[in-house]
Amino acid sequence: MKSEIIAVGSELLTPYRQDTNSLYLTEKLNEIGVTVAFKTVTGDRRKDLVNAIRTALGRVDILILIGGLGPTEDDLTREAVAEALSLTLRRDATQVAALHARAAAWRITMPPNNLKQADVLEGATLLPNPNGSAPGQWLDVTFADYRKLVMLIPGPPHECRPLFDAECITRLREIVPARVIAKRTLKAAMIPESQADKLLAPIHTTYPDVETTILAHAGDIQLNLICVKSSQEAAEQRVDELASRVEEALEDWLYSSQGESLEQIVLYYLGLRQATLAVAESCTGGLIAQRITSVPGASRSFLGGAIVYSDALKAAFAGVPADLIAQHGAVSAEVAKSLAQGIRLRTGATLGLGVTGVAGPTGGSEAKPVGRVYIAVSDAQKNEALERTFRGDRTRIREWASQQALDLVRKRLM
Amino acid sequence: MKSEIIAVGSELLTPYRQDTNSLYLTEKLNEIGVTVAFKTVTGDRRKDLVNAIRTALGRVDILILIGGLGPTEDDLTREAVAEALSLTLRRDATQVAALHARAAAWRITMPPNNLKQADVLEGATLLPNPNGSAPGQWLDVTFADYRKLVMLIPGPPHECRPLFDAECITRLREIVPARVIAKRTLKAAMIPESQADKLLAPIHTTYPDVETTILAHAGDIQLNLICVKSSQEAAEQRVDELASRVEEALEDWLYSSQGESLEQIVLYYLGLRQATLAVAESCTGGLIAQRITSVPGASRSFLGGAIVYSDALKAAFAGVPADLIAQHGAVSAEVAKSLAQGIRLRTGATLGLGVTGVAGPTGGSEAKPVGRVYIAVSDAQKNEALERTFRGDRTRIREWASQQALDLVRKRLM
């Protein structure tokens, strides 16, 4: 069955705000075998909204309207659906009482306008909204001789998403022909994009029944595999088969077969080896530590480290000798190695990571252009540095450098 | 004049990808007085695309189609526009030659399919695309007795955006009635949302001719003011007037009148006072340093610091006495102050910032729940700590804590 999601709100037509609820809803709809054929964003003008609703009812079976259910005069979704489908709106006494009770509980005086949230479309089922004042509504109607399902869902994400899961998906499951879905997310680090294409295209194109989406970002490639079948076993078998072939092709570029992040994998291997990590970051300025510590429980294997932006701090926190910097420059393989070893010895960690580079936009030279980064990993056995030159702006260079650094730690632990 | 943006591509109907070009285009369109009334996302099915194009032509004056101009059989925007408007497509000899020349320059054999990129709509003006192989197209047509402007723009952002600026905006300026725009972005930190509403609503609602958008995120409030008038002076006067009243109302919650980020402002004040900063981060794990070092030139005022996840590193890098931790706990005002002072003395910075807290999801207690954070700023004169309890998940707690910490540094410098 085909669906359309209409996100309602003038703020979603500015350069500053974007509808993100639809991504969440799309995932849930796809899981029960409903495709999203159109997404529309419309403002708070009633005429535009009615137009969008009629257009959608003419081209899909399931219409989901998000937003415009609040108490202000700009909230017109109920009124627009009534107009588009020629339905009446009646004020529901139970809902009016609930609104009064809610206002009393919050000790606020309710403006009369608020009562419009109690307006219910003719024939609609109310969908309880435990996280807000406006309930959702569910309509099962006939439009131009076809059966149409129409859902009105509140816009704030913490109201929209739980309500959609609890009320809409459960109802849709009973109506949509039963299908099951198997999913898998694989991830690989630092594989050149052209190489990834060359390796992957011949594989996944031979599985036309598994939908494969490939997302690339700053040294990270994510493959989402989705297969919809009438039996769980059949769907999972196809996904597993394709996943195995992808895993084999990606060799040790692959770091995750179940969707974990690179920082989660690094922490996993550290735990497995009963090892600890400390970092000394110059050009990445805390980004690597920040990524690692974003994972709950990181403190079990991550000790911390130093952000050594100045030469003085490279000496003070990681013991980098001043004459080493004078001889090779702060951005050099030698200083990266000294940072890695120094932070390891100072902190007593099993592994030390050192990063130094030119993040730009200034500070580059012919010998060491903007984007040049040196990354070293030191342990009791060895201390090796890698030289890379990344392209892009300051943000992208730092992202690439942090990705390469985490991947280097992962490889040392494997 | 009203416009609609249609983003074309099945990947934009998955849970993983979102159209972002439309945000950029909306900003440019608004600047010349064109509103965006609808945004639509449609997949690569020709029937759906024709439907979306016809719908748009029925409700707006300007239609911008993004994507679907590439060489694959899924790229159907040209064909769909031809069908929707009953126009013919002809293969342009100059474009065919250009495609061959491009392939030769890249030393690749061109698949025959590629030539469809040389197909031009009857009556269309070609829009040169210096960053890709498919040119854009511009149509000025009559549809159901109304004049319509239709633009076909390539989808990759680095092709779409420069082409839109160079070719579409310049042409639209000559057609759209001349209007000018004045803009201003104001930012405030750590103001409670209810307080912001109470202060701001009575002000900006008295300027109905200035469009005010308020965005809030983890302790940060951003106000975008936009005014469109027939004279630049009149537009700027209204924005300046409203901005002054907002600035006054926000008092020292306001940190930026020109859209700078909080980290830029902190670095600006550090430079002004010829002061330097060093940080000792526990629960924020590098996030504060990362934010500061994301600003080009941060190294002039930011020395670096330490990520002191373990108690041992709190001692080693910031000289926090073990008995202080034993007495008050690692998460305490005393330890935050000791971190701030310790890192300042170790690094020789003018200001030291210390942060310790429970980011969760585990590690909370009744006395120190998840979300409890202590932040201290130390300088030669004083060393004061702040206690806060933030709500949300690990990511949000860390975001709030980093925002509060940067704001505390800003206030100390003012």
pLDDT at B107: 79
A38 Cβ under 8 Å from any chain B Cβ: yes
Q: How many CB pairs under 8 A join A and B?
A: 205
pLDDT at B180: 82
Residue for token pair 């402002």: B265
Cβ atoms B305, B347 nearer than 8 A = yes
- Quote the strand ranges of B327-371, DSSP E: 351-357
Question: Which uninterrupted H or E stretch holds A218?
Answer: none
CATH number of A262-413: 3.90.950.20
Contact B11 A398 (CB under 8 A): no
Q: Which residues pair with B39 in a beta bridge?
A: A41, B5
Mean pLDDT taken over chain B: 94
- pLDDT higher than 90, residue B230: no
Q: How far is CA A215 from the centre of its chain?
A: 11
User: In residues, how long is chain B?
Assistant: 414
Residue for token pair 């000496």: A315
Residues of A in contact with B222 (CB under 8 A): 16
CATH fourth-level superfamily of B2-175: MoaB/Mog-like domain (3.40.980.10)
| DSSP-derived 3-state class of residue B108 | coil
Determine which of A147-151, A201-205, A382-386, B105-109 has the lowest per-residue pLDDT on average: B105-109
Q: Which residues pair with B62 in a beta bridge?
A: B3, B149
According to DSSP, the β-strands at B146-153 and B62-66 are parallel
pLDDT at A12: 94
Q: What are phi and psi of A175, to 5 degrees?
A: -105, -40
CA angle A408, A321, A411 (to 5 degrees): 10
Chain A: closest CA distance from residue B144 (Å): 17
Mean pLDDT taken over chain A: 94
pLDDT at A192: 82
Cα separations (Å) of B366 from B79, B371, B372? 65, 12, 11
Residue type, A159: E
- pLDDT higher than 80, residue A193: no
- Which chain B residue shows the shortest CA-CA distance from A47? B59
Before B177, cis peptide (omega within 30)? Answer: no
- pLDDT higher than 80, residue B402: yes
Count Cα atoms within 13 angstroms, Cβ side, for A9. 22
pLDDT at A108: 75
Contact B26 A13 (CB under 8 A): yes
Give dist(CA A159, CA A8) in Å, integer: 15
Nearest residue, CB atoms, B286 vs list A213, A289, A316: A289
Cβ atoms B43, B36 nearer than 8 A = no
pLDDT at B196: 85
Chain A: closest CA distance from residue B7 (Å): 10
- pLDDT higher than 80, residue B167: yes
Give dist(CA B346, CA B351) in Å, integer: 11
B108 Cβ under 8 Å from any chain A Cβ: no
pLDDT at A194: 73
Nearest residue, CB atoms, B309 vs list A26, A286, A293: A293
Burial (0-12, 13-18, 19+ Cβ within 10 Å), B257: middle
Residues of A in contact with B41 (CB under 8 A): 38-40
Q: Which of B3, B183, B19, B239 is nearest to A43 (CA)?
A: B3
Contact B294 A213 (CB under 8 A): no
> Which pair of structure tokens corresponds to residue B68?
């679907």
The DSSP letter of residue B124 is P
The model's pLDDT over B63-76, given as tens digits with 9 standing for 90+, comes to 999 999 988 888 99
Contact A306 B302 (CB under 8 A): no
- pLDDT higher than 80, residue A383: yes
Mean pLDDT of A290-309: 96
Cα separations (Å) of B78 from A385, B136, B305? 51, 10, 56
The model's pLDDT over B240-284, given as tens digits with 9 standing for 90+, comes to 999 999 999 999 999 999 999 999 999 999 999 999 999 999 999
Chain B: closest CA distance from residue A118 (Å): 25
Give dist(CA A108, CA A129) in Å, integer: 20
Nearest residue, CB atoms, A15 vs list B23, B279, B302: B23
pLDDT at A154: 96
Q: Which residues pair with A187 in a beta bridge?
A: A222, A256
Cβ atoms A172, A35 nearer than 8 A = no
Domain with CATH 3.90.950.20 in chain B: 262-413
pLDDT at B16: 87
Contact A285 B303 (CB under 8 A): no
Mean pLDDT of B207-216: 88
> Which pair of structure tokens corresponds to residue A37?
């054929």
- Which chain A residue shows the shortest CA-CA distance from B283? A293
- Which chain B residue shows the shortest CA-CA distance from A287? B290
The DSSP letter of residue A110 is P
The model's pLDDT over A30-49, given as tens digits with 9 standing for 90+, comes to 988 899 999 999 998 999 99
The model's pLDDT over A327-345, given as tens digits with 9 standing for 90+, comes to 999 999 999 999 999 999 9
Cβ atoms A20, A54 nearer than 8 A = no
Q: Which of A298, A389, A385, A402 is nearest to A341 (CA)?
A: A385
Give dist(CA A373, CA A386) in Å, integer: 8
The model's pLDDT over A205-234, given as tens digits with 9 standing for 90+, comes to 899 999 888 888 899 999 999 998 888 899
Domain with CATH 3.40.980.10 in chain A: 2-175
Residues of A in contact with B359 (CB under 8 A): 293
Cα separations (Å) of B271 from A159, B80, B214, B267, B277? 45, 57, 30, 6, 10
Nearest residue, CB atoms, A14 vs list B41, B213, B284: B213
Q: Is the dihedral of CA A125, A127, A128, A134 positive or negative?
A: negative
> Which pair of structure tokens corresponds to residue B207?
């300027």
- pLDDT higher than 90, residue B353: yes
Residue A151's CB is within 10 A of a number of other CB atoms, namely 24
A386 Cβ under 8 Å from any chain B Cβ: no
Residues of A in contact with B27 (CB under 8 A): 15
pLDDT at A252: 93
B302 Cβ under 8 Å from any chain A Cβ: yes
Mean pLDDT of A407-411: 98
CATH topology of domain B180-256: Alpha-Beta Plaits (3.30.70)
pLDDT band for B86, please (50, 70, 90 cuts). Answer: very high
pLDDT at A196: 85
Cβ atoms B163, B136 nearer than 8 A = yes
Mean pLDDT of B330-354: 98
Mean pLDDT of B288-315: 96
Chain B: closest CA distance from residue A87 (Å): 24
- pLDDT higher than 90, residue A109: no
A72 Cβ under 8 Å from any chain B Cβ: no
Within 395-414 of B, beta carbons closer than 8 Å to A belong to 395, 398
> Which pair of structure tokens corresponds to residue A268?
């996993």
Chain A: closest CA distance from residue B395 (Å): 7
Contacts of B237 (CB under 8 A, 6+ apart): none
Question: Which uninterrupted H or E stretch holds A5?
Answer: strand A2-8
Q: Which residues pair with B377 in a beta bridge?
A: B353, B384
A301 Cβ under 8 Å from any chain B Cβ: no
Nearest residue, CB atoms, A361 vs list B281, B296, B303: B296
Nearest residue, CB atoms, A55 vs list B55, B287, B289: B55
| DSSP-derived 3-state class of residue A265 | helix
Give dist(CA A378, CA A279) in Å, integer: 10
> Which pair of structure tokens corresponds to residue B197?
């509403």
- pLDDT higher than 90, residue B112: no
pLDDT at A283: 96
Whether ipTM > 0.90 holds is no
pLDDT at B132: 87
Contact B346 A38 (CB under 8 A): no
For the packed helices A394-413 and A262-272, what is the interaxial angle rounded to 10 degrees? 30
The DSSP letter of residue A72 is S
Q: What is the pTM of this model?
A: 0.86
- Which chain A residue shows the shortest CA-CA distance from B25? A15
CA angle A190, A193, A198 (to 5 degrees): 120
Cβ atoms A22, B39 nearer than 8 A = no
Contact A398 B26 (CB under 8 A): no
Cβ atoms B280, B345 nearer than 8 A = no
- pLDDT higher than 80, residue B110: no
- pLDDT higher than 90, residue A175: yes
- Quote the strand ranges of A85-239, DSSP E: 89-91, 119-121, 125-127, 136-143, 146-153, 180-189, 210-217, 220-229
Residues of A in contact with B48 (CB under 8 A): 37-38, 59
Cα separations (Å) of A102 from A73, A109, B218? 20, 10, 27
Contact B13 A24 (CB under 8 A): no
> Which pair of structure tokens corresponds to residue A76?
């017109």
Cβ atoms B264, B233 nearer than 8 A = no
Before B361, cis peptide (omega within 30)? Answer: yes
Nearest residue, CB atoms, A15 vs list B30, B42, B304: B30
Chain A: closest CA distance from residue B282 (Å): 8
B207 Cβ under 8 Å from any chain A Cβ: no
Contact A307 B289 (CB under 8 A): yes
Residue for token pair 């809803």: A25
Chain B: closest CA distance from residue A141 (Å): 23
B371-375: long-range pairs with CB below 8 Å, 24+: B371/B397, B372/B331, B373/B283, B373/B397, B373/B400, B373/B401, B373/B404, B374/B331, B374/B332, B374/B333, B374/B335, B374/B336, B375/B336, B375/B401, B375/B404, B375/B405, B375/B408
pLDDT at B74: 86
Within 318-377 of A, beta carbons closer than 8 Å to B belong to 346-348, 359-362
Chain A: closest CA distance from residue B167 (Å): 20
- Which chain A residue shows the shortest CA-CA distance from B53? A55
